[in-house]
Structure 1
Amino acid sequence: MGKVLVAYFSASGVTRRIAREVAEAVGADLFEIEPKQPYTRADLNWQNKSSRSSIEMADAACRPALATPVPDVSGYDAILLGFPIWWYVEPRIVDTFIEQAGLAGKTVIPFATSGGSGIGDAERNLASCYPEVSWKRGALLNGDNAAAWAHGAVA
């Protein structure tokens, strides 16, 4: 498919491990979507309605600041976008990345990690919120299928 970027957000390290496997499998560049204010364990407590992640996810317009500027994506043929599933969709910081990267017309293939949710709601949400992006079918990658999926995704 040409030049590929794997951009990912990982709150606990799980998605980071998968993203690295995906990037290595297809020889892609790697960019970590990092929050300007790192998430603490308390911030990630989804059972606490006052936690940072709960507050962010309750506000569809929330766009957490990034620690580093997004890369210039103009030279990439495809972007594999990885994230953990939060409240059945992508975390708001992923929306920050999408909006700052200017992905209109780009081929973007999402992949996600989750302890129990599928990727379907996130795919529908992304396509609805960002119709100018050329979304391809993504995958939930929780096991040893990351490299095989990546080869098929960019074939």
Structure 2
Amino acid sequence: MRRYRFRSEPLALDDAARASAPGQFVRLSDGWTHYELAGPPDAQTVVLIHGFSVPYYIWDPTFAALAEAGFRALRYDLYGRGFSDRPDVEYNADLYDRQLCELLDALGIATPVDVAGLSMGGPIAIHFADRHPERVRRLVLVDPAGFPLKQPPVAALIRLYPLGE
């Protein structure tokens, strides 16, 4: 069963919910983080960071393919998503950076990793790579959030002059 919070939908993340969840949990400084790790322990680790609206299971096909190809695949739920805790803190780049650093440390992953970020996971991956270049071997961005689209000049005119009501 997949759980995620939508608007005001309550989601109790208690021991019973964690017991029914796939994957594993680790307690970090800001709360519990839900994750899944597959593949040979000595293989190159690929970290998969999901976007805003869909938790870690968005990576299901990629996660399975990486593990089958001999990589060590790690995916996790960002704080506030999926089965990870929803700490009462400011949700910003520092929080997500700390979460990933602590997760890698807790799992004993000390070698540089390949990091893939999808949508909102893109800026998180960029921030992590910028702050910790020694921990990142490669960076992959999949439709990253935060990059403005190039628009034709007519689009700018439409934004300036509203068309009707």
Same fold by TM-score greater than 0.5? no
What is the TM-score with the length of structure 1 in the denominator?
0.41
Larger Rg: 2
Determine which structure has the larger strand proportion and give its number: 2
Q: RCO (CA 8 Å, sep 6+): is it higher in 1 or 2?
A: 1
What TM-score do the two structures reach when normalised by structure 2? 0.39
